[in-house]
């Protein structure tokens, strides 16, 4: 099971390290992680995407909760939250028509196109993970040269 953990922590040095250390010590894996200070500079929010069975996830949530530097640990429900990740794709252009098609594809996903060269172009997509996956599948036939992604940022919807 894939889960997204939203962890509000004290904005102090060394806390991200302690959290990643905990994941290592307890034998958990981090799929993606994103970190940033919140509107209140006393706190940072760490968003971690991880996977495991239900028992494992319950355990990691409890271990995170037990940490003194974590103020709040939430396991986000996919249906009640907004998730976004930014990903940059460098895609191969093999024939002149490719460039048009990639442009079309990018448009249909609301992605931006940058740095169009003769042999490649860069596409920036901000979307939910399943959309990113769908885009990636459609772009793969052209040839994906490189990607870079930010990790997921997520917040629970109000009243959810």
Partner 1 sequence: MNNIENMIGAKALMLAMEKEGVKQVFGLPGGANLPMYDELYKSNIRHILARHEQSAAHMADGFGRVSRKPGVCFATSGPGATNIVTGLATAHADSSPMIAVTGQVPVAMIGRDAFQESDIIGMSNPCVKYSFQPRNAAEIPEVVKKGFYIAESGRPGPVLFDIPKDVQQNEAEMIFPDVVKIRGYHPWTDPAIPEIERAIQILLSAEKPIILAGGGVIISSAFAELQAIAEMLMIPVVTTFKGKGAFPENHPLSLGPIGMHGHAEANKLMIEADCVLAIGTRFSDRSVGTFEEFEKRLKIIHMDVDPAEIGKNQTAQVAVVGDVRVSLRIMLKKLTQEVVKKSDYNKWLKHVNEVKDYWRENLKIHPGEMSAAKILRKLRETIPNETILTTEVGQHQMWASLFFDVIQPGTFFSSTGLGTMGWGFPAAIGAKVAKPDVPVIDIAGDGSFNMTENSLATSVLEDIPVIVFLINNYSLGMVAQWQRTFYDRRMIGVDQQNCPDYVKLAESYGAQGIRAQSLDELENAIKVGLKSDVATVIDIPIDPEEDVLPFVAPGTPLKDMILPS
Q: For partner 1, which residue of 58, 112, 114, 140 counts as binding (CB under 8 A)?
A: 58
Contact yes or no for 125/109 (Cβ under 8 A):
yes
Binding residue for partner 1, selected from 1, 27, 53, 55, defined by CB under 8 A: 55
Degrees, nearest 5: CA angle 69-148-81? 50
Total residues belonging to the chain: 160
The span from the CA of 134 to the CA of 119, in Å, is 23
Q: Which of residues 64-103 bind partner 1 (CB under 8 A)?
A: 65-71
Q: Which of residues 13-52 bind partner 1 (CB under 8 A)?
A: 14, 18, 21, 25
Dist CA 71 CA 139 (whole Å): 41
Candidate ranges 6-14, 89-97, 102-110, 131-139; the one touching partner 1 (CB under 8 A): 6-14
Decide: helix, strand or coil at residue 17. helix
Cβ 26 to partner 1 shortest distance, Å: 10
Q: Interface residues with partner 1 (CB under 8 A)?
A: 9-10, 14, 18, 21, 25, 55, 58-59, 62-63, 65-71
């Amino acid at each position: 099971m894939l889960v997204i953990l939203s962890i509000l922590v004290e904005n102090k040095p060394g806390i991200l390290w302690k959290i990643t250390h905990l994941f290592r010590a307890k034998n958990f894996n981090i799929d993606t992680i994103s970190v940033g200070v919140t509107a209140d500079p006393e706190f940072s929010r760490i968003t971690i995407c991880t996977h495991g069975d239900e028992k494992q996830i319950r355990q990691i949530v409890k271990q995170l909760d037990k940490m003194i530097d974590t103020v709040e640990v939430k396991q986000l429900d996919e249906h009640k939250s907004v998730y976004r990740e930014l990903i940059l794709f460098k895609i191969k252009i093999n024939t002149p028509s490719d460039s048009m098609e990639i442009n079309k594809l990018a448009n249909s996903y609301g992605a931006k196109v940058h740095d169009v060269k003769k042999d490649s172009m860069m596409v920036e997509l901000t979307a939910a993970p399943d959309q990113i996956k769908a885009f990636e599948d459609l772009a793969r036939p052209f040839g994906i040269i490189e990607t870079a992604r930010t990790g997921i940022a997520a917040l629970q919807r109000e009243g959810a």
